Amino acid sequence: MNLILLGPPGAGKGTQGALLASHFDVPRIATGDLLREAVRRGTPMGQKAQSYMDAGELVPDPVILGLVREVLEDHAGSSSGSGDSGDSPGAIFDGFPRNIPQAEALDELLEELNMSLDAVILVDVPDDVLVKRLSGRRSCPECGKVHNIHYDPPSEEGVCDRCGGTLVERADDAPETVRKRLTVYRQSTEPLIEFYDDSPTPVRRVDGDGPVKIVQKRILEELGG
């Protein structure tokens, strides 16, 4: 199962991606999470990415494509004893691709690894809901769990329910950066809808406005069970 989750920031790609990854028992490849981890560790890639992320802009394609290739080759290699990457169970792509050159590069990479794309899901959420969700997002840097002070508050304020870590607000969830990220989404990422509609895997739209479990059910129904 190779599945792309498309949608604006705050649509719930990370939330649904984690549920789908566990449902289908495949890894979730979330470029945003990988980049934040690189920034946190201060790696050369993290140093290159940070200023773009802080500004709500896309990190340059060569950085992203190098990162995705590395992760995908790793998964393809580790899932097959024979070294034949065609045996790979696939992945849930969350936040990647973000523009047409990335989508073209993903096509090539999948072909090279003897894999194919199975579905593209667009998680649709109105802008006012996105803004409210992003203003309430609180993430745990220790275990990756994402809470929301409006919709899914932790039992103890500021403390991760899963691991007890200290929850943080993402710097790029500040209102002015959110505005920039939404503009970047409309300009660079939304054209992917037409790109995939003209491909063998047209976009399947799912209403992402509603409780997490209901949205998950809609996605699974769209995927045919």
Q: What angle do CA 52, 131, 17 make, to 5 degrees?
A: 70
Binding status of residue 208 toward ligand AMP by CB under 6 A: no
Residues labelled as active-site residues: 13, 98, 137, 170, 181
CA distances from 224 to 12, 15, 119, 172, 179 (A): 20, 20, 11, 35, 35
Site for ligand AMP in 134-173 (CB under 6 A): 172
Burial 126-139 (b: 16+ CB within 10 A, else e): eeebbbebbbbbbb
Contact stretch for ligand ADP (CB under 6 A) within 9-17, 80-88, 107-115, 161-169: 9-17
In residues, how long is the chain? 225
- From ligand AMP, ligand ADP, none, which one binds at residue 35 (CB under 5 to 8 Å depending on kind)? ligand AMP
Give the one residue of 90, 95, 144, 154 binding ligand AMP; rule: CB under 6 A.
95
CA 99, chain centre distance (Å): 13
In terms of CB distance, is 159 or 212 closer to ligand ADP? 212
Contact stretch for ligand ADP (CB under 6 A) within 46-54, 79-87, 142-150, 161-169: 142-150
Which two three-digit tokens encode residue 180?
């920039």
Binding status of residue 28 toward ligand AMP by CB under 6 A: no
**Tokens 């999948």 label which residue?**
110
User: What is the full DSSP assignment across 156-209?
Assistant: STTB-TTT-PBPB--GGGSHHHHHHHHHHIIIIITHHHHHHHTSSS-EEEEE--
- From ligand AMP, ligand ADP, none, which one binds at residue 19 (CB under 5 to 8 Å depending on kind)? none
Residue 88 DSSP label: -
Binding status of residue 58 toward ligand AMP by CB under 6 A: yes
The span from the first CA to the last CA of the chain, in angstroms, equals 13
Give the one residue of 31, 85, 88, 216 binding ligand AMP; rule: CB under 6 A.
31
Contact stretch for ligand ADP (CB under 6 A) within 70-78, 107-115, 130-138, 180-188: 130-138
Binding site for ligand ADP (CB under 6 A): 7, 9-15, 133, 136-137, 146-148, 151-152, 210-212, 215
